[in-house]
Amino acid sequence: MLEIRSDVIPSREQLFALYSDVGWTAYTRDMDCLERAVAASLAVFTTWEGDRLVGLLRCVGDGETIVYIQDVLVLAAYQRRGLGRRLMVACLERYREVRQKVLLTDDTEETAAFYRSCGLIPAAEAGSVAFLRLENL
């Protein structure tokens, strides 16, 4: 049985297994940094099958005027079962009163279709533009 939990911080080993499974090696190269980032998150939503971490979504921001949705991951073997959507719903419901919910992600048709289905739109459609600066690539 799959269960969504909020504000449970997974162990280092559980984080490594999940992030490695989805190929997010930029995170797993510095596990100390990843652990600190997850622990410092505004909110962490997780999906569990027993004691196995199956999915994770974390939010950063102030929780009042802006929330950044960061790191939406589901183990490859569990994808396409609606788990990512359940994590998004949990996050969007908790922060429904927050005006700005922002997510920065890769630009693929599949990714765009998923986030659109969750009620998000590209910044350009809202008359906005995003700027970023990436370090240590």
pLDDT at position 135 is 86
For residue range 26-51, what is the model confidence (pLDDT) as tens digits?
Answer: 999 999 999 999 999 999 999 999 99
CA separation for the pair 61, 98 (Å, rounded): 10
- Structure tokens given for 49: 């099958």
Q: What's the whole-model pTM score?
A: 0.93
Selection from 92, 84, 122 nearest residue 105 by Cα = 122
What DSSP string describes 46-115? EEEETTEEEEEEEEEE-SSSEEEEEEEEE-GGGTTSSHHHHHHHHHHHHTTT-SEEEE-----HHHHHHH
Burial pattern 4-22, b for ≥16 Cβ within 10 A else e, equals beeeeebeeebbbebbebb
Q: What is the dihedral of CA 25, 59, 4, 113, to 10 degrees?
A: -70
Q: What is the pLDDT of residue 137?
A: 64
Q: pLDDT tens digits, residue range 125-137?
A: 999 998 888 887 6
Tens-digit pLDDT profile for the chain (137 aa)? Answer: 999 999 899 999 999 999 999 999 999 999 999 999 999 999 999 999 999 999 999 999 999 999 999 999 999 999 999 999 999 999 999 999 999 999 999 889 999 999 999 999 999 999 999 888 888 76
